[in-house]
């Protein structure tokens, strides 16, 4: 079995290895016929703590409703209709939460989820409960729950075996879309598939991921600190997503590096040699010049090549 590191790049590799209808084309991640910017895949991974926290809250909310239905001897068939704003209007959610959120079954499931996903704490309050059960969209029967986790939950509340994770597994795509505030046709299904694999990714390789969510820090590639230069500075991001941009600082023309650009992550983590960086940059410039159709653009890029070559030759003189 392939081993993966707990990084957004290995998560992407895991998706490509385990989703038969997914492939990558440059900066686009394709799920079936849905094109997603690769940064969206990375964002889902970077927001793992928050998204998996919401996932756990939805499971806990369903469990609270089961305890309420059981105590009031209400037909369990209503569990199949959750979540639902209509059902929410007909109950006193605040009282239900106060009476049943501390039930031993709820605390057992909460502990199970906390240990499964390595949370030090798993927040679950009244507002979480209300927002969860009043959500309109696909039902909990369509919430993906891996078999091992579902079996563990069913040992605590057997009824949930037939109320959650029964079909499709596409329910959480809407939650991810709401969280990212992205509402485009087909994206919800793609988000569901990616999130479901995020759950699998964690569960399959959790023995390698120490305190993945418990440390309340997002996973980042470690950065080396010796890239400082009088002609270069790193910034959090560049609005257009570029790798770098020129700037005028302290009476000097300098370059500002986008430290969240994936290529800079490779460079600063020493995952790519200086020779390969040199080749990559010159290769991209060469392609631009050679493929340019307009003669004016071609001449501009040709002059750019000459000017860069001259400037680097001058720099070389200072190193010798």
pLDDT digits (tens, 9 = 90+) for 116-163: 999 988 999 999 999 999 998 899 999 999 999 999 999 999 988 888
pLDDT digits (tens, 9 = 90+) for 153-191: 999 999 888 888 888 899 999 999 999 999 998 899 999
Domain boundaries, the chain: 11-205, 232-319
Numbers of helices and strands, H then E, in the chain: 13, 6
Say how many residues make up the chain: 320
In the sheet with 34-37, reading across from the earlier edge strand, the strands are 22-25, 28-31, 34-37
Q: What angle do CA 316, 319, 320 make, to 5 degrees?
A: 90
Q: What is the reported pLDDT for 220?
A: 34
219 pLDDT exceeds 50? no
Q: What is the reported pLDDT for 162?
A: 86
3-state SS, residue 30: strand
The arithmetic mean of pLDDT across residues 259-272, rounded, is 86
pLDDT bucket at 250, cuts 50 / 70 / 90: confident
Q: What angle do CA 230, 235, 238 make, to 5 degrees?
A: 120
- Report percent pLDDT > 90 for the chain: 47
Which residues are bridge partners to 229 per DSSP? 232
Q: What is the reported pLDDT for 239?
A: 73
How far is residue 138's CA from residue 127's CA, in Å, rounded to a whole number? 20
Distance from the first to the final alpha carbon of the chain = 50
How far is residue 215's CA from residue 193's CA, in Å, rounded to a whole number? 26
226 pLDDT exceeds 60? no
- 295 vs 68: which has the higher pLDDT: 68
How far is residue 93's CA from residue 84's CA, in Å, rounded to a whole number? 12
């Amino acid at each position: 079995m392939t081993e993966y590191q707990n990084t957004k790049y290995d998560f992407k590799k895991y998706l490509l290895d385990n989703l038969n209808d997914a492939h990558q084309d440059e900066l686009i991640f394709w799920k079936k016929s849905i094109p997603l910017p690769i940064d969206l895949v990375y964002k889902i991974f970077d927001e793992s703590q928050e998204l998996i926290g919401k996932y756990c809250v939805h499971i806990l909310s369903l469990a609270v409703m089961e305890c309420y239905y059981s105590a009031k001897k209400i037909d369990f068939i209503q569990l199949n209709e959750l979540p639902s704003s209509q059902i929410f209007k007909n109950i006193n959610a605040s009282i239900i939460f106060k009476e049943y959120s501390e039930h031993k079954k709820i605390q057992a499931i909460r502990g199970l989820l906390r240990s499964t996903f390595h949370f030090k704490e798993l927040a679950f309050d009244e507002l979480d409960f209300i927002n969860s059960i009043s959500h309109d969209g696909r039902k909990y029967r369509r919430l993906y729950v891996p078999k091992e986790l579902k079996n563990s939950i069913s040992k605590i509340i057997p009824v949930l075996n037939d109320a959650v994770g029964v079909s499709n597994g596409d329910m959480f795509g809407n939650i991810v879309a709401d969280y990212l505030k992205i509402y485009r046709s087909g994206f919800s299904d793609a988000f569901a598939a990616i999130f479901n694999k995020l759950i699998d990714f964690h569960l399959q390789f959790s023995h390698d991921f120490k305190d993945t969510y418990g440390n309340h820090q997002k996973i980042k590639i470690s950065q080396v600190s010796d890239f400082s230069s009088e002609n270069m500075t790193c910034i959090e991001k560049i609005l257009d997503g570029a790798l770098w941009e020129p700037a005028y600082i302290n009476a000097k023309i300098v370059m500002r590096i986008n430290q969240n650009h994936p290529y800079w992550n490779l460079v600063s983590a020493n995952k790519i040699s200086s020779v390969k960086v040199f080749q990559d940059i010159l290769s991209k410039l060469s392609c631009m010049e050679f493929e340019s159709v307009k003669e004016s653009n071609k001449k501009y890029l040709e002059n750019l090549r000459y000017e860069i070559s001259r400037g680097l030759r001058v720099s070389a003189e200072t190193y010798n």
